[in-house]
Amino acid sequence: MTTNAHLERIGLLGAGNMAGALLSGLLGSKVVEPTQIRASDPRKARLDELRQTHGITTSDTNAEIVDWANILVLAVKPDVVAKVLDECGAKIGARHLVVSIAAGVPIRAIESKLGPGVRVIRAMPNTPAISRAGATAVSAGTAATHADLDVARALFEAVGRVVTVDETLLDAVTGLSGSGPAYVMLFIEALADGGVQAGLPRDVALLLATQTVYGSAKLLLETGEHPARLKDAVTSPGGTTIAGLRALEDAGVRGAIMGAVEQATERAIELGKPRK
């Protein structure tokens, strides 16, 4: 098994769906061994599940994980981040790299609960990480180094693709790729409904719609072509595709999608503001 020397001891503070996706990706891609990951969570049933499925060590105490790990993935719900850091923040020091996946919690809020010089990376993954097809953006905190960013990238490359952005852009990332899977699911559902309306059986329509979206995205990633060029490649003069595209343009689909990203971004900004 080939392991990453920088990912020595990874502690998951919180063991929800995204933490579970990260855990599955790291172990499934053989980036680390089960002995290199531990997790804490207040839910005994969840910890039992992780032990049985992945063979990792677990704890119901965050402080125990902090004492053991050199990389801490802060994977709790945003509204309990402050409570968790109040509980064990004093134990987190310069030897730790803290990687937060708590949506909407700014780096400054995390750093304010920790000692000086603690390195913090904020990450915004999305749910396709569960299938190792995620899109994650990472941003560095005040004391974080390029090497720390490389470690964070290695974590999330185990479950998909990673980009590095300034933290000021993470709300836009939330509006696009964080919320984006919901937009795509809506499109797949509508595409399948169109097939049913045209006479296809429901299961056939849904399979064709899903595979079409998957295949189109894969084609785009593998060729590196601009999506407009790939669209034009299937659009014959006077043909079926241009007729369908005209219907989409008439319905304002392009503008609606842009508006969805914009509104989700604005909502992410609101949620990230300090509570009064």
Contact 100, 76 (CB under 8 A): no
Confidence band for 31, pLDDT divided at 50, 70 and 90: confident
**Residue 203 identity:** D
- Token duo for residue 236: 């014959």
pLDDT, residue 276, reads 61
Which helix (H) or strand (E) covers residue 161, if one does? Answer: strand 160-164
Question: Is 6 a residue whose pLDDT tops 80?
Answer: no
68 CB-contact burial (10 Å; exposed 0-12 / middle 13-18 / buried 19+):
middle
Contact 177, 103 (CB under 8 A): no
SS3 of residue 138 by DSSP:
strand
pLDDT in tens, 128-153: 998 889 999 999 999 999 999 999 99
Question: Is 27 a residue whose pLDDT tops 50?
Answer: yes
In DSSP notation, 46-82 reads: HHHHHHHHH--EEES-HHHHHHH-SEEEE-S-GGGHH
> What domains are defined for the chain?
10-170 (3.40.50.720), 180-271 (1.10.3730.10)
pLDDT in tens, 63-79: 999 999 999 999 999 88
Confidence band for 2, pLDDT divided at 50, 70 and 90: very low
How far apart, in whole angstroms, are the C-alpha atoms of residue 41 and residue 235? Answer: 52
pLDDT in tens, 176-223: 999 999 999 999 999 999 999 999 999 999 999 999 999 999 999 999
